[in-house]
Structure 1
Amino acid sequence: MTMTIKVYEVDSEGRARVLRPKVDVIPLEEPEFSNEFAACECRLCTGGDS
C-alpha cells in the first residue's frame, strides 16, 4: 500500500506555497523506535539565511 505526501508552507497571510509536489511514498514495514525527535534542519537552527 502506498501513501501520498505533499509538502507546503502557509505564510502569515494564509497563502500556501508548495515546497514539494505530491509524490507516492511507501511506508516502512517496521518504523524505527526512538524517544528523540530528529534534529531540526530549518534555517534558524542550522544558522542559514532567513
Structure 2
Amino acid sequence: MSIQTDDFGTPPPARMVDAKPETPQEEAIERALRPKLLDDYVGQAKVREQ
C-alpha cells in the first residue's frame, strides 16, 4: 500500500526564526550565558553520583 496525494502546492514559507546569530556580538552574548565547565551546570554532581 502506498500513500498518494494530489497536494503539489507551493512549498511552505521560509522560517521566520533562525538559529544562527545575527551578529558576532549576539554570538558572544549567547556564549557568555552558557556555563563554561561541566562543574558550572547546576545538579551535575548529583547526576554523576547516579
TM-score normalised over the length of structure 1: 0.20
- Greater RCO (CA < 8 Å, at least 6 residues apart): 1
More strand by share: 1
TM-score normalised over the length of structure 2: 0.20
More helix by share: 2
Larger Rg: 2
